[in-house]
């Protein structure tokens, strides 16, 4: 039985973690299948963005502790927790969060480029309550996303906040009524898909680079030689929508 479902909606790949009996917790099977779904997104030029969500109004409760106690690993070598948190994807990925995004579930959301959350969603990093730390990106990423002391409150107390509060903190891009997160995320993905795919990939590469200025110089040189940049300029001059080829 597949524990990660994919559905193509226009130029977007909707990826759904589907283990509602375990609150969509991540075990080895979920990690393997999620990595495969992300490979599907990256490999198909017709797909411009992805949306990651969870089945039955729960994003993910994080690592499956029962599976971990049996020796299962929720990590994929070179790709991190769930096959996502260390993956270097070229295409934009949006988290659509309903219900719980706890521990590794929160870290999956942090591994995405944008986050859309229902106002009653719950974000938390409770690892310290289990004798662990948020090693799937939480400790490293969260202090870069929100002010230091607010990030430390998440990391040291393990207490959750609502989607509404996450919006106030600037942690999420959109806050929606309950049940609307995936729909709004898909609309946002459509908006991203209007832009040049090579340019989107270049932005992502520069943002995550250790030496962003050097990478930016390299990426700009490549973009200026692309067919898409000529198409973008021509379309602007001709007052029409561009037709991107990704070349």
If you ran DSSP here, which 8-state letter would residue 16 be given?
Answer: E
DSSP H helices in the chain: 28-43, 65-69, 104-110, 138-145, 148-157, 163-168, 181-193, 197-207, 212-224, 227-237
CA end-to-end distance (rounded Å), the chain: 38
CA angle 178, 49, 144 (to 5 degrees): 70
Q: Contact, 128 vs 158, CB < 8 A?
A: yes
56 among known catalytic residues: no
Strands in 100-102's sheet, in edge-to-edge order, are 100-102, 122-124, 161-162
Catalytic entry in 107, 159, 168, 194: 107
Catalytic entry in 3, 98, 127, 219: 127
127 among known catalytic residues: yes
Q: Contact, 32 vs 2, CB < 8 A?
A: no
Active site residues: 107, 127
């Amino acid at each position: 039985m597949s524990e990660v479902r994919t559905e193509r909606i226009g130029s977007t790949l909707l990826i759904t973690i589907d283990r509602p009996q375990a609150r969509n917790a991540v075990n080895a099977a979920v990690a393997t299948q999620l990595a495969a779904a992300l490979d599907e997104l990256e490999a198909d030029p017709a797909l411009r963005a992805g949306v990651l969500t969870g089945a039955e109004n729960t994003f993910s409760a994080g690592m499956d502790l029962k599976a971990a106690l049996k020796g299962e690993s929720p990590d994929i070598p070179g790709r991190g927790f769930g096959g996502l948190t260390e993956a270097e994807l070229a295409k934009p990925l949006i988290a659509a969060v309903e219900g719980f995004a706890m521990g590794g579930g929160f870290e999956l959301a942090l591994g995405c480029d944008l986050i859309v959350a229902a106002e009653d969603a719950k974000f938390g990093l409770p690892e310290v309550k289990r004798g662990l730390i948020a090693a799937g990106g939480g400790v490293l990423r969260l202090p870069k996303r929100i002010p230091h002391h607010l990030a430390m409150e998440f990391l040291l107390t393990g207490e959750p906040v609502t989607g509404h509060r996450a919006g106030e903190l600037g942690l999420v891009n959109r806050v929606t009524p309950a049940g609307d997160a995936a729909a709004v995320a898909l609309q946002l993905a459509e908006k991203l898909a209007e832009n040049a795919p090579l340019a989107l990939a270049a932005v992502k590469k520069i943002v995550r680079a250790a030496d962003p200025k050097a990478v930016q110089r390299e990426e700009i040189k490549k973009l200026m030689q692309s067919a898409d940049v000529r198409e973008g300029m021509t379309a602007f001059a001709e007052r029409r929508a561009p037709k991107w080829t990704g070349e």
